[in-house]
Structure 1
Amino acid sequence: MYIPEIYKNENPEAINDFLQKNSFGILVNQVDGKLWATHIPLELDINENGKQVLYGHISKENPQWNSFASDSKILAIFSGPNSYISPSWYDHENVPTWNYTAVHIYGTIKIIEGEALLLSLKKLVDKHEAHSENPIKIEDLSERTMLQTRGIVAFEIEIDEIQAVHKLSQNRDDKNYHNIISELEKTGESNSIAIAKEMSKCRK
């Protein structure tokens, strides 16, 4: 994606943290020459070869997986908070804009089966059950219930390139920057407040 230099996020730790917190992404590839996208959780991890990967799965009824073998290159898109920025928040005339955070990952996908599939499901469930009052574990599910795994295709995406953007009014002076934060907080809207928090981290 196009990212002006001032908005590039090149901090690996910050990017990893973003991906952990915003793991519901969009998997994009081509199916019969047509762009195809599926909204699914894609979990960041390190594989057995020490390489950074994404794990995920889709339904076998979804034709997207049929192209994984013939065209293994994919794009995964992750979006964070975003918010409208009003020009009325500046001390000078300007145009409206939008602040946002996002990550694009380009990678090579391969289907995984057997123990690798079960391990990817376990990691996904353990992560999202961690705060449940009565957490469920994959290994505790009955054989009958686990038969449903026959209806999915699991995969591993080896990461080739990461592009990350955090457009957070970095081009504004301190006075206007902090006024934007204040105005975002006043909205009471969750996305706007989240952007205000991100801006506060970038500039004290």
Structure 2
Amino acid sequence: MHIPSSYKKTDVTDIKDFLIQNSFGILINQVNGKPWATHIPLELDVDKDSNDVLVGHISKVNPQADNFIESNEVLCIFNGPHSYISSSWYEKEDAPTWNYIAVHIYGKLHILSEDEIMESFHKLVNKYEKNSKNPISTADMSEKTLKEIKGVVGFKILIEDI
């Protein structure tokens, strides 16, 4: 992504806050020699070695999952607010433009164990249910429902470049 220097943000705290507030991202890797993208929640977390990671999961039937290769580099894109900027707003003539906020993250993919997937599932549900009118808890879900976790591939992405 080209970023004009006057617009580039480098404050890691601001970027992490953006990722937490805009965690629905796009995961991109190669599938049969072609870029493939899946829109999914990608949660910012810290691993046991204190590294920043993104954690997510996709269905095992998604062709992208068949092409998850341990330690391959992937790209994750997160979008925020955006808007057309009319040149009529300028004091002098200039071209109209589009302003937006986006973060691109590059990192190495690592497949999660079933226990790690379940842990990330609990975190994900708790995060998004906490403000629900009638929140559910994974602690109250049946064993049958929780077995659906076997239908996903969980992963973490060790963040290497932002």
TM range, normalised to the smaller chain? Answer: over 0.9
Answer 1 or 2: which has greater strand percent.
2
SS at match of 1:149: helix
1:143–1:24 distance in 2 versus 1, CA, 3 Å: same
- Alignment-derived partner of residue 16 in structure 2: 16
How do residues 182-197 of structure 1 correspond to structure 2 at under 5 angstroms?
Answer: none
Structure 1 unmatched runs, 5+: 163-204
SS at match of 1:48: coil
Q: Deviations over 1:38-97 (max 9, x none)?
A: 000000010111100000000010011122126721000000000000111112111101
Q: How many Å separate the matches in 1 of 2:114 and 2:149?
A: 10
Q: How many Å separate the matches in 1 of 2:5 and 2:125?
A: 37
- Aligned-pair CA distance for 1:27: 0.3
- Alignment-derived partner of residue 72 in structure 1: 72
- Alignment-derived partner of residue 105 in structure 1: 105
On the 8 A contact 2:70/2:111 being kept in 1, the answer is: no
Q: Deviations over 1:164-203 (max 9, x none)?
A: xxxxxxxxxxxxxxxxxxxxxxxxxxxxxxxxxxxxxxxx
On the 8 A contact 2:114/2:150 being kept in 1, the answer is: no
- Alignment-derived partner of residue 44 in structure 2: 44
- Alignment-derived partner of residue 61 in structure 1: 61
TM-score by length of 1: 0.77
Q: How many Å separate the matches in 1 of 2:83 and 2:130?
A: 30
SS at match of 1:5: coil
Is it true that 1:143 corresponds to 2:148 in the alignment?
A: no
TM-score by length of 2: 0.96
Is it true that 1:34 corresponds to 2:1 in the alignment?
A: no
- Aligned-pair CA distance for 1:139: 2.1
SS at match of 1:98: strand
Which structure: larger Rg? 1
Q: How many Å separate the matches in 2 of 1:69 and 1:109?
A: 7
Q: Percent identity?
A: 53
- Alignment-derived partner of residue 114 in structure 1: 114
Q: How many Å separate the matches in 1 of 2:39 and 2:140?
A: 27
Give the partner amino acid of 1:14. Answer: D
Moved more, 86-95 or 68-77: 68-77
On the 8 A contact 2:71/2:110 being kept in 1, the answer is: no
- Alignment-derived partner of residue 127 in structure 2: 127
Moved more, 75-84 or 134-143: 134-143
Q: How many Å separate the matches in 2 of 1:117 and 1:139?
A: 15
Q: How many Å separate the matches in 2 of 1:66 and 1:113?
A: 16
Answer 1 or 2: which has greater helix percent.
1
SS at match of 2:95: coil
On the 8 A contact 2:24/2:78 being kept in 1, the answer is: yes
- Aligned-pair CA distance for 1:133: 1.8
Give the partner amino acid of 2:149. Answer: T
CA RMSD of aligned residues (A): 1.1
Q: How many Å separate the matches in 2 of 1:139 and 1:154?
A: 20
Q: Deviations over 1:129-170 (max 9, x none)?
A: 1101221122221001112111111111100101xxxxxxxx
Give the partner amino acid of 2:19. Answer: L
Q: How many Å separate the matches in 2 of 1:110 and 1:71?
A: 6
